[in-house]
Amino acid sequence: MGLEVGNIIIEDVSFGRQTRLEGRCLIVDPTALGDFLCRRDARLRKVDLFWAKKGESTRILCVKDVIEPRCKVSGDTTGEGRIHILKKVAVITCGKIIGYQEGIIDMSGPGALYTPFSQTMNLVLEIEVKKDLPPRQHEEAAREAGLAAAAYIADTGRAVEPDTLDTFADLESPAVSPELPRTAYLYLLLSQGLLHDTYVFGEDAKRKSPCIIAPRLLMDGAIVSGNCVSACDKNTTYHHQNNPIIAELYRKHGKELNFVGVVLSNESARLAGKNDSAAKAIELIKNLKAQGVVISKEGFGNPDADQMMLTRGLEQAGIKVVSIPGRTAFPNPWPMLPRRPRP
């Protein structure tokens, strides 16, 4: 079986007495949703909800995660069946965890050019937890609240006919010309402890990788972000749900290349862990008989070492590498600003 992805294009959002879709307007009952989140998790003390829309004079501070609302319409297995997505909508979790972290989203002004979420209609959850909750419990409660809220509002689109429907089949079906270059994707995930973690099927990425994984599973929400720091290099759950590299490799599959699969690997904080993960990931790439590899990383600083180790090892094995830096390029707004005289 393949994965069907139905996209429901949301045109407007508002608050109301009942969470529902009216045409392509998403209406959310903030009291009902806040109460639902606090009932499902006793660690939460209060959840306040706000809408933040494109062009508003709004700054969202202490951003923890961003999640795209999705619901499973059919199929019992990740990567199979059908999902419906509320496009142009995002759920954003924010609030204090341990200390004030640096995730910022500006909905207008020069800062808006640096984030794709200035273009989405954002349901912002300001989360407060019970007093003296341990840091790991605090992070987990906030992370799970965002996922639960996204699932809650996504359910409004369960019975709605989507605006577009895409199907992603197994990579082996139909058969691909053997003359096309065998190309793999090496997907590095931050996995360095509290506020620097990523989860694969609900488990720490260090325990689940390196491994070979079907790209359809990743498109169906297999990866969740627990990375709450370094705003300029933070991959949110939304980014993992909408990985552009996987989408582009699928688009070129059978035409310009043979997309043979994805290898997940982790970015350890220790040199021994980096060496071990790199060696295992390279071996898995060899098992896929890949002739070329695209590598993406998350974070900066010591994750650059993971990327360089993998690039060197793969090239030494005769495999061509395209290595993508962690930062996403957005237009630079500063030249548009008037020059200020030096003091």
| Burial classification of residue 142, based on how many CB atoms lie within 10 Å of its CB (0-12 exposed, 13-18 middle, 19 or more buried) | buried
E strand or H helix at 267: strand 258-267
Q: Tell me if residue 94 is catalytic.
A: no
The count of other CB atoms within 10 Å of the CB of residue 98 is 13
Tell me the C-alpha distance between 29 and 42, whole Å. 21
Tell me the C-alpha distance between 128 and 259, whole Å. 44
Closest CA to 200 of 253, 145, 263, 136: 263
Angle at 249 between CA 248 and CA 255, to 5 degrees: 105
Tell me the C-alpha distance between 209 and 262, whole Å. 11
Q: Which of 62, 71, 94, 228 is catalytic?
A: 228
Q: What is the Cβ-side half-sphere exposure of residue 252, based on CA atoms within 13 angstroms?
A: 15
Tell me the C-alpha distance between 122 and 146, whole Å. 12
Residues tagged active-site: 228
